[in-house]
Structure 1
Amino acid sequence: MRILNSRSTRALTAAITVGLIATGCASDRDKDENKSGAKDTFVFGAPGDPASLDPALASDGETFRVTRQAFEALLEHESGGSKLIGGLAEKWSSNPEGTVWTFNLRKGVKFHDGETFDAKAVCANYDYWFNWKGTYQSSAVSYYWQTIMGGFKANEDKETPKANYKSCTVKDDATAVIEVFEPSANLPGGFSLQALAIHSPKALQEYAKQQVTEAGDAITYPKYSQEAGTVAGTGPYKITKWNKGNKEVALERFDDYWGEKAKVKNLVFRTIDTEEGRRQALQAGDIDGYDLVAPADIKTLEGAGFQVPTRDVFNLLYLGMTQEANPALKKPEVRQAIAHAVDRENIVKTQLPEGGKVATQFMPDTVAGYSENVKKYAFDTAKAKSLLAGAGASGLSVDFCYPTEVTRPYMPAPQDIFELVKADLEKAGIKVNPKPKKWNPDYVDAVEKGGCALHMLGWTGDFNDGYNFIGTWFAGYDKQWGFKNDKVFNAVKAGSLQGDPTKRTDLYKAANEAIMEYLPGLPLTSSPPAIAFGKNVVPPKVSPLTQENFAEVSFK
């Protein structure tokens, strides 16, 4: 999510960016053909930098966009869809209780460093994560492990969730058995996450020699995760270089890949953090595709012959409220006032592609568990002012963090959306103190640690289960929200423990109703993000989960 001061500034920045790209890459383009004349390099314009080359340490889509090409999990999603299929496990099953998961693994799979993939490798990974200590136990570092598997062998903080991971057992070379203490709606979907993708055991030994460190709100990630050379997965591409100065990650086809080989030899992810910059780079031929196309650019690009497929809606943008960061937010009338102050329909009309929707709850209507009976908060500035006055909060002043240097699938125009929300709040008499922070890592870390009273953030589903949305935020105390409410927590957890799909859906509906009655934050919108490709590109199948497999890409 990037922020600049004005449209004219963004246009100037984009022009400079494209100029630099064109100058810096001319020689590369001259070399970008093999002897047969076919292009050997596909360059994709990403909205933001990855945080890490080790997906286990990340929770952001830009990291996973890169690592997904190099790492594979036990399970995956079908190309272009949300159905779970085999990944490194050809088959999987569980006991009736959902606490014992058996994976029949693929044979003949090699890691990028030459190591052999087998059940020992699977267990080495899960046991490695389970035994993390120190800053690795911070939710900003091990977010997904804690979300899916709970805490660690020895929790060091009372707020760290209880461990649900029990063990990983090698039944034979091609069979791994993972046990958990309690059934969870996060399984089996969690086994498909990039954060739980499988690394070479040899690489894990090198990882263990380094540490994540923390000073205040700043987290320093280990060297191995910030430069190519150590990380090793099993995917169709291997990571060969991360040039942070040029905001570029380079990958090369892995010729020993067990499945269908990548069609293009070289894959490059280049960060261009403005919408205009990405569009102009595509039009100039300096990149071959980019994500998060500005709604106003879709028809222009299509009219010029570019390909601009739109994904299905599977995301949510929300206005987060951190009660412990501002005591006024503990009053329900204040949270309700903020909800009534924001014109969400205006955001949809002016900022989102066709198909965008106002969000009424913390999941899109494409997910089972969406309820038509949640409490609604219509746009009403006068009511917002009245609620503030009744709560003794007239003239409320609140810090509002917003991210810079990135764009997200659920938020195609971050600066513009921030300005709209800010203006709405000010019309209701709320003084907004802007707090800009660079997306990676400053903004994400500050939000997850509860340092932002108001903030804009969102979620693209990892897999198709309601708990992947509401369970992400409201299954228990979370610093990002800074509240404790057993009615909400218990309603959310009840769905996660129900094995019957129909009953689980009904429990998710009840949970959504409890959440919106309490109103910990304000769901804003859901957006169908568009992705663009060059005229000469045969694109991959686009994914509602934004999990495109670039090994499918080729050139016409």
Structure 2
Amino acid sequence: MRARRLRAGIAVAAAVTLVLAGCAESDREDDGSSSSSDKTLVFGVAGDAKALDPALTSDGESFRVTRQIYETLVRPEEGGAKIVPGLAESFEPDSSGLKWTFKLRKNIKFQDGEAFNAAAVCYNFDRWYKSTGLMQNPDVTYYWQTIMGGYEKNESADLTTSLFKSCTAQGDDTAVIETTKVTSKFPSALALPAFSISSPKALQQYNANQITGSADDIKYPPYAMEHPTGTGPFKFVKWDTANKTVTLERNENYWGDKAKIKTLIFKTISDLNARKQALRNNEIQGYDLVAPADVAALKSEGFNVLTRPAFNILYLAINQNGPQKGALANVKVRQAITHAINREALVKAKYPEGSTAATQFMPPGLEGYNENVTKYEYSVDKAKQLLAEAGVPNLTLKFWYPTEVTRPYMPDPKGIQELITADLQKVGITVQLVPAKWSPDYLNGVQATTDHDIHLLGWTGDYGDAYNFLGTFFDHATQEWGFNNPALFEAFAAADKEADAQKRFGMYKDLNKQISDFVPGVPVAHGPPSLVMAKNVTGVKPSPLTDERFVGAEVK
């Protein structure tokens, strides 16, 4: 995910019933071999959470906390991207693909003691669907709009008809959700934290929908700031804004295996070097977004560096409607730019071990990845030849790049820009650099204006589906890429509504081939980001989706 307001296609769901074997869970008892049961784990994070009602947030730091408090009907498997049962032990569609039946786990309580059941599930869906006022602001309910579109009563002409149609409780343990069309987004998108199930009683008691302020200054209600209530293994204790900490404690009534630690604290330490020093001083017991240059040193000191599987893409976008739109609309010029960039050398110089140069706009391992796409090997001579054939041997490009930021897919923006600039200059392209602060200047500049020829940006997948990458970028016209390709957009629409998963995967492969031949930009790299834990902390499994669960964390 990233901070942007683009449509996102989310994971494919196989049209079969998924049943989780061995559902019975037993309470853990400390056997005396570990003192973890009364321990506190402090995890250092780069920024504050925005709010603790996951329906109202889309940022990673908010989700990191709420993933411990709440649960969803379906979820990604631990350490992977495959969708597996969550609060629903099985789910299947009817023959039309429009009506999904979720069989719910029994004997689960919310953290306020209220029963989790089908009525609670439908209450949550109806709450989201019936949102009004500031609840329809795209910054407030981003993922509802991204996945479901509009609401029961849309208050903006920009909103579309809702994908969600209805939720019906059939007894306590069966919820039937009906959609308005077949789409690859459903039901796997329900694994997003934004679709976490909250206690209906707590939502009502703490005025969860009473958002105030303005579109530019959102004020969140008490539920989102002081009373988040889910079914997860940790429950909320306090949010100390002065000390920049959020404190959770073990949910002793959790339906699954209990957390092994008693207290979990997320502490904001914005500076990366300060987080590293705090770990060395044992002020924290872990932190995220380890600098690639620090990995070897931390490992040598005995810290547990956990490397996530690469589930991202850095790309160099080529804007066909920018200052040099005449030249960049020529596919030979775009091919020349792609041949000019030495991706292998860039990855070796700027990325951690395990990173790979990209050949397409999605990571390997996802269904739909196509080994046979057109590849553009590094060749200065080929790039010069194509520029000459296109009649633009003297090309000047306005190159935007971000400052004051690192991203999992972009660990060193300035350094990456410098290498790409040098490569472009070798083939005779003049580069005009435009550095800009990441938010809001850079994101607004490259996504909402046409004042850029090329720029760096990327994506970390929400869930394990090709559409979540390809469709996010290319299933509609945007300012970022500056092209209109109706045939490509129609091919995406056909893939999205294909109910047969295997057919859909084949369509994704074809889309990858079309995109590679069209050359909208240059897929650059896939980088595996890391988090680190203290020497005596085990049990946290790295997730490609940053879906780390601290329920298994153990401090010895």
* Residue in structure 1 matched with residue 515 of structure 2 by the alignment: 515
Q: Could you tell me how far 1:144 is from its partner in structure 2?
A: 2.4
Deviation at 1:269, TM superposition (A): 1.9
Deviation at 1:198, TM superposition (A): 1.4
Q: Is the 8 A contact 2:541 2:548 kept in 1?
A: yes
Equivalenced residues, count: 515
Give distance in 1, aligned partners of 2:147 and 2:195.
9
- 1:159, distance to aligned residue in structure 2 (A): 4.7
Aligned to 2:30: none
Q: Which residue of 2 aligns with 1:437?
A: 438
Question: Which of 276, 281, 290 pairs up with 2:278?
Answer: 281
- 1:474-553 superposed matches below 5 A: 474-478=474-478, 480-553=480-553
In the alignment, structure 1 residue 471 sits paired with structure 2 residue 471: yes
More moved, 323-332 vs 93-102: 323-332
Deviations 1:245-288 (A, max 9, x none): 54433322233322222211221222334443333322222211
* Contact 1:52 1:226 survives alignment (8 Å): no
1:13 aligns with none
Query: Secondary structure at 1:221's aligned position in 2?
Result: strand
Contact 2:292 2:352 in 1 (8 A): yes
Report the AA paired with residue 234 of structure 2: Y
Question: Does the 8 A contact of 1:47 with 1:408 survive in 2?
Answer: no
8 Å CA contact 2:51–2:225 kept in 1: the answer is: no
> Aligned partners of 1:421, 1:144: CA distance in 2, in Å?
34
Contact 1:477/1:483 (CA < 8 Å) preserved in 2? Answer: yes
Q: Deviations over 1:130-160 (max 9, x none)?
A: 2334565455543322333233334455554
**Structure 1 residue 553: deviation in Å?**
0.5
Does the residue aligned with 1:531 lie in a helix, a strand or coil? strand
Q: Is the 8 A contact 1:461 1:468 kept in 2?
A: yes
Hey, what's the Cα distance between the residues in 2 that align with 1:177 and 1:481?
39
Q: For residue 23 of structure 2, what is the aligned residue in structure 1?
A: none
Mapped contact 1:319–1:522 kept (Cα < 8 A):
yes
**CA offsets, 1:77-118, max 9 Å, x none?**
232233322211122221133211111222333333444322
Post-superposition CA distance 1:285-334 (Å, at most 9, x none): 22111223233322222222211232223222223456666573862456
Match of 1:302? 299
3-state SS of 1:514 partner:
helix
Would the aligned equivalents of 1:69 and 1:549 in 2 still touch at CA under 8 Å? yes
Structure 2 equivalent of residue 124 of structure 1: 123
Q: Could you tell me how far apart the structure 2 residues matched to 1:155 and 1:520 are?
A: 34
Assess, with a 3 A threshold, how the Cα gap between structure 1 residues 309 and 386 changes in structure 2: closer, same or farther: same
**1:50/1:258 Cα in 2 relative to 1: closer, same or farther (>3 Å)?**
same
Q: CA deviation at 1:363?
A: 0.7
Does 2:204 match 1:207? no
1: distance between equivalents of 2:321 and 2:134?
A: 22
The code of the aligned residue for 1:208 comes to N
Say whether the 8 Å CA contact 1:139–1:448 is kept in structure 2. Answer: no
Q: 1:255/1:270 Cα in 2 relative to 1: closer, same or farther (>3 Å)?
A: same
Identical-residue share of aligned pairs (%): 45
Paired amino acid for 2:457? L
| 2:233 is the alignment partner of 1:224 | no
Contact in 2 for aligned 1:385/1:429 (Cα 8 Å): no
TM-align CA RMSD: 3.3
Within 5 A, what are the aligned runs for 1:112-511? 112-133=111-132, 136-137=135-136, 139-205=138-204, 206-211=207-212, 213-214=214-215, 219-224=216-221, 228-244=225-241, 246-321=243-318, 328=325, 331-333=329-331, 335-336=334-335, 338-380=337-379, 390=390, 396=396, 398=398, 400-402=400-402, 404-405=404-405, 407-421=406-420, 424=423, 428-438=429-439, 449=448, 453=452, 455-478=455-478, 480-511=480-511
Aligned residues of 2:210 and 2:220 also touching (Cα < 8 A): no
Aligned partner of 1:40 in structure 2 is 39
Distance in 1 (CA, whole Å) between partners of 2:450 and 2:104 is: 43
Contact 1:487 1:514 in 2 (8 A): no
Are the structure 2 counterparts of residues 198 and 477 from structure 1 closer, same or farther at C-alpha, using a change threshold of 3 Å?
farther
Q: Offset at 1:42?
A: 0.8
Aligned to 2:503, the other structure's residue is in SS state helix
Tell me which residue corresponds to 1:14. none
| Cα deviation code 1:147-198 (max 9, x no counterpart) | 3323333445555444222111122222211111222212231121111111
Counterpart residue identity of residue 258, structure 2: K
Q: Contact between 1:328 and 1:393, CA under 8 Å: does it hold in 2?
A: no
The amino acid that maps onto 2:521 is: G
Give the 3 Å change call, closer, same or farther, for CA 97–297 of structure 1 in structure 2: same
* Structure 1 pair 392–61 and aligned structure 2 pair: CA distance change class (3 A): same
CA distance in 1, matches of 2:382, 2:269: 41
Give the AA of the match of 1:96.
S
Inter-partner Cα distance in structure 1 for 2:323 and 2:213:
30
For structure 2, the 5+ residue unaligned runs are: 2-34
**How much does 1:210 deviate?**
1.1
Amino acid at match of 2:504: R
Q: Equivalents in 1 of 2:135, 2:417: separation in Å?
A: 32
Distance 1:52 1:41 in 2: 23
> Any idea what the Cα deviations from partners look like across 1:423-445, whole Å, max 9, x if unmatched?
5556631202111134xx77667
DSSP 3-state at the match of 2:121 = helix
CA distance change for structure 1 residues 332 and 375 in 2, over 3 Å: closer, same or farther?
Answer: farther
* Shift in Å, 1:526: 0.8
1:38-93 Cα offsets, whole Å, 9 max, x none, are 76221112234434323223333333222211121111223223332221112222
Is the contact between residue 209 and residue 221 of structure 2 (CA under 8 Å) also seen in structure 1? no
1:118 and 1:165 mapped to 2: Cα distance? 20
Secondary structure in 2 matching 1:354: coil
Partner SS, residue 41 of structure 2: strand
Kindly state the Cα deviation for residue 382 of structure 1 after the two structures are TM-superposed: 6.8
Contact 2:403 2:435 in 1 (8 A): no
* Corresponding residue SS for 2:535: coil
Question: Partners of 1:468 and 1:394 in 2: how far apart?
Answer: 37
Q: Is the 8 A contact 1:540 1:548 kept in 2?
A: yes
Residues 529 and 380 (structure 1), Cα distance of their counterparts in 2 relative to 1, 3 Å cut: same
- Given that 1:332 and 1:519 are in contact with CA atoms closer than 8 Å, whether structure 2 keeps it comes out as no
Q: Offset of 1:446 from its aligned partner?
A: 6.5
